[in-house]
A and B are shown apart, each in its own frame.
Chain A
Amino acid sequence: MIMVVNEELVDKLAHLAKLEFTPEQKADMMADFQKILDFVGKLEELDVEGVEPLIHLTSHSASLRPDVPHVTITHEEALKNSPLADSDYFKVPKVLAKH
């Protein structure tokens, strides 16, 4: 069963992604989402009875890293590409209303 994309679904995803769409954009999104799902939905035609889901593409297990600290970028480099920062912090729009 291929999922049907409706306005409610797009609104929910927009909320989770912290995005806002105009009505025109929303209509475009709905059409695009539906196309993508229909395309992937082709897979539903396959009989996968008894086939284990493939979660990872490799049969290797993860290699673990020894617990050795290592500085890869400096404080200055970390803040350099930020659109808004002071000498210590990244600055972002206020994210939580104060109770």
Chain B
Amino acid sequence: MHQSAHSYEAVIGLEVHAQLLTKSKAYSPDPHAYGGRPNAHVSPLALGHPGTLPIPNKRHFELAAMMGMAIGATLHQTTMFARKNYFYADLPKGYQITQDKTPLCTGGEVMIKDATGQDKPIGITRIHIEEDAGKSMHDIDPFNSLVDLNRAGIPLIEIVTEPDMRHPQEAYNYLIEIRKIVRYLEICDGNMEEGSLRCDANVSVRKKGSTRFGTKVEVKNMNSISNVRKAIEHEIERQIDLLEGGGQVEADTRGFDAATGRTHSQRSKEAANDYRYFPEPDIPPVVLDDMFLEAVKRSMPPMHWELHKKFTESYGLSEYDAAGIAAEKHFALYFEKLAALCPDRKAAANWMMGPIKGYLNETAIEIQDFPLDVNTLAEVIDLVGQGKLSFAVANQRLFPALLQEPQASPTLLAAKLNLIQERSDDYLLGLVRQVVANNPAKAQEYRAGKKGILGMFMGQIMKLSQGKADPKRTSQLLEEELDN
């Protein structure tokens, strides 16, 4: 990097395409499904046959509207389609049906953390509805490109930001947030590696303090969120080096090569594209009535920022626990059900963040497949709360036993496994006396002032009781015994 790099700032805007989880395509009923044979999910429209007419998919609008509502955008109830014209083999119609001057949503913002961890709103310019193109493969056949049109016509939204980001880390944080939002809404699976979420970055640099934008370069082909950060880092460096070397940045589209970590030009100047947008004559304006919008609003799940706020403000959870639980929707919703049954929310949160998360990670399953019902877990938490079971025993003995027998009653199973904590003084005192009698030298050391040795005695007592001795009462009795 050039020495004077620190006198520049980067200006970054992102365009994110998300494939929406509909059952059929955007303008024709061919299935939107994964893993089919190539060219099996097609229709005359997807193939660009003459005489076909597009009919928009209602679900496409519902899912796109959910995204708009989630980020506080303005939803336009009358919205039109446009044709974006270009010739490429994976777009047999010769145009993409998209939206140009009348996007479904404008405005709104997405709250992210900036590079120093402070809250920063990123303005959203627009969200519009469009369709995906097919897939071309250039590496399989030596003489031809192969075309698969299963993806042609899959419903997309494109989310365009204002040029509000100043650091590659902000672009990274923005994408993490967008992925979280689409997954909360369950409108897109958010998988960048598989291309269901894609990102292009517009990057320019300027001298700090300047209010004019530099010439921007569009960077494409980044198939992971980390690669977006890497590509932007590289592109900023490249532009600064150019400017510092007395050169100029040229408006360009550049592809990112993950293997080299570099970007390279994809479009020569003479090939500059002109998409000649014009209104799509085959689809009249779409008018969304109030009932439609009300229904979409009612179908909105609670968003992670709402849950996070509830967890910290109403439940008194730490920032760390609230963020950890709210990170994934179904995990958060399981916790919500659990919290409704457990007055001790902190204990419920500890179970979520500790044993449950651990189990899900170990077994690589989702919370939806977690075998224990919230009622079962609430009963375990209650047993610990009542002091019938220590957390350690509950976690290490009862929890694994319940996972083997998910239908069992925790109270009965704990009794059957002989785990219920002993609190009777007779029992506890017996253990205390036994352990003190077995360690006369240590007892002497304690009495001589080495108080720390208490832990050794407690450890022995817990071992003898197989973890069932109530630690609080035991330690009282132990101190009394030793002080005598």
Contact = CB atoms under 8 A, between A and B. Distances in A.
Interface of A: 12, 15-18, 55-56, 58, 60-75, 78-79, 84, 86, 88-96, 98-99
B55 A63 contact: yes
Contacts of A61: 78, 284-287
Contact of A89 (B24, B32, B146): B146
Contacts of A73: 42-44, 47
Interface string B56-88: 111111000000000000000010100001111
A69 B145 contact: no
Given A68-B23, A69-B23, A90-B149, A95 B55 contact: no
28 contacts: A16-B276, A55-B279, A56-B279, A56-B284, A56-B285, A61-B78, A61-B284, A65-B29, A67-B23, A67-B59, A68-B23, A69-B24, A69-B30, A69-B31, A70-B29, A71-B31, A71-B41, A72-B29, A72-B43, A75-B37, A84-B144, A88-B39, A88-B146, A91-B145, A92-B145, A93-B144, A94-B144, A95-B138
A46 to B, nearest CB: 20
A92 B29 CA distance: 26
A56 B78 CA distance: 13
Contact of A93 (B38, B59, B145, B273): B145
Contacts of A98: 138-139
Contacts, number: 141
A95 B145 contact: yes
B429 interface: no
B257 interface: yes
Contact of B89 (A74, A88, A95): A95
B281 interface: yes
Nearest to A90: B147
Interface of B: 22-24, 28-33, 37-44, 47, 55-61, 78, 80, 85-89, 136-139, 141, 143-149, 255, 257, 264, 266, 270-271, 273-274, 276, 279, 281, 283-287
B47 A78 contact: yes
A85 B264 CA distance: 32
Contacts of A17: 87
A64 B145 contact: no
Nearest to B266: A99
Given A12-B274, A61-B287, A96 B145 contact: yes
A67 B63 CA distance: 11
A63 B271 CA distance: 38
Contacts of A18: 87
Contact of B87 (A16, A60, A78): A16
Of B29, B56, B287, most A-chain CB atoms within 10 Å: B29
A79 B286 contact: no
Given A63-B55, A67-B24, A72-B30, A94 B138 contact: yes
A62 B44 contact: no
A89 B56 CA distance: 27
A62 B270 CA distance: 39
A78 to B, nearest CB: 5
Nearest to B275: A16
B24 A68 contact: yes
A89 to B, nearest CB: 4
